[in-house]
Amino acid sequence: MLIDISDIISSENKERTLEVSVGLTSFESRLGKFPIIQKSPMELQIVNRENKSLLIHGKADLGVMIPCSRCLKEVATDLHVPIDKELTIEASEVRGEEPEDTVFLEGTCLDTDRLLYGEILMNWPMKVLCSKDCRGICRVCGADLNAGDCGCQRTELDPRMASIQDIFNKFKEV
Ligand SMILES: [Zn+2]
Ligand SMILES: [Zn+2]
């Protein structure tokens, strides 16, 4: 959603609290496409601090389907995404510290979905498990070991070993 914040940019110490609906229906990154199954409006507080900077504070609560790191079963995962940005005001123009910051600014309009996208990326969970003792999939035949043993000969059956396997998988992605 595009929100015109020119009134905040142009008046010193102005503060505005907004409730903005989330337009994203899925989250896409190089890791894949993840459907957003639940969302509540984002709360954003925008403050003009002494005409020098613009502070954006807020949060978003989302439910996202993310595959289990071990067995790949989709898990409805709650993401609580804090939003914290400080932008610089120069001659009534707003600038971010990082190049990505300009992506969610269009003139004096704030693109709240792009802002949220960047914050989701920053807060993406390292690991999602369907249950903490998920047994993962068989490395030999690919069967879901939570459904029972497939009979393949494997050296590791221990959930502690499964977490070591996660680390190996992580290296493979790089
Ligand atoms: Zn699992
Ligand atoms: Zn097997």
pLDDT tens across 9-47, in order? Answer: 999 999 999 999 999 999 999 989 999 999 999 999 999
Structure tokens at 100: 């990505």
Give residue 130 CA to ligand 1 midpoint distance, Å.
4
- What pLDDT digit, counting tens, does each position of 73-89 carry? 999 999 999 999 999 88
- Ligand index nearest the alpha carbon of residue 69: 1
- Ligand index nearest the alpha carbon of residue 162: 1
Give residue 74 CA to ligand 1 midpoint distance, Å.
8
Q: What is the DSSP string of 69-137?
A: TTT--EEEEEEEEEEEEEEEEETTEEE-SSGGGGGGEETTEEEHHHHHHHHHHHT--S---SSTT---B
- Ligand index nearest the alpha carbon of residue 150: 2
Neighbours of 135 (CB within 10 A): 20
Give residue 126 CA to ligand 1 midpoint distance, Å.
14
- Record the pTM: 0.80
pLDDT at residue 172 above 60? no
- For 93, the enclosing helix (H) or strand (E) is strand 93-95
Give residue 150 CA to ligand 2 midpoint distance, Å.
5
